[in-house]
Structure 1
Amino acid sequence: MSEDPCNPVVLRPSNSDLTSQSSDFDASEYRRERATTIARIYRALSLALTVARPASYGDAACKAWLEAAFEFVADLPVDVLEIAAREAGKVCRHPAQIVPTIHEQAAEIIAARDRQRRLAAPVQLAEGWGAEPLPPKLHLSREECDRIKEAAAAMAEQERRERLQRRGGAA
């Protein structure tokens, strides 16, 4: 990327960003992480564009498209963007479809992650709920287990015979 002041992509933080941070702020680490993030975004967009790129798109058109698309997807988490761009590359046949498809896919991914997070969160019970002790664990002897298995097998065999009779077959 060029250092053009008109370029919307900033590869380094502004001086105000650097001075407003605490003294232990490492500017080179920030630049490296920011450059890596930008590179990952451009790579994801480039892969999607490569699949949907018409033959009439020249290098200048691709660069302009990438810079414009970057502005529309830069706010997405990079890992989500990479997955969404991969999916967009599978279904899009024109560059105009890529960014909307990325946003649709990203919304689905983020919603799925939110559902997983909510399901994994501990449940807060209302006051008084859950105060009852669990019922004691049922312990069966080996003979009782065998009788239950035999009774279940006999019931299954009886049901099979009844089905055959309803179909008109012999038992």
Structure 2
Amino acid sequence: MLNIPDTFTQFTELGEVDIGTLHGDHVTVVVIHIKDPRLLKDDWAPATQILEDQWQGKRQRQQQRQQQYPQPHGKPLGGILSTRDSCRFYTESPARDGPPQRLEYKDRSEFAPLADDADPEVFLAFLRTCLDGSPASGLGLDVSTGETDEVVTREPGEL
């Protein structure tokens, strides 16, 4: 996992997971590292639920801060679910009220762990997608809520 300050360990149905947050001026990214990927059993739903719960807590804290320091909108949220072998990138739905949406880049939705990936192109495209609310060119969003992998591809600026 990347070296992220203030990472904590949580015990879940997936065993131990490390949860950290990358804070930027314009985006917040929750990074969840699943220590034992065998517990996923090809079902990422429990991990995306952990991500959604983290986002909900961050949104509540943003709303509390906005009462003191009004801003038009809270920062967009992104998410990274990682194991020792791979990682997936997630963004919020455009309305910020649905399940995490998995990004697809060049027909792939799983990538080398960030610490192992020498090419930051996918990560930078992911950050642009979090900021803009629509995928950068070549990216798609998996908006499925079931077990299928339906992917919707949008052009930049198209919602």
Do both proteins adopt the same fold according to a TM-score greater than 0.5, normalized to the shorter chain? no
Report the TM-score when normalising by structure 2. 0.26
Report the TM-score when normalising by structure 1. 0.25
Greater C-alpha radius of gyration: 1
More strand by share: 2
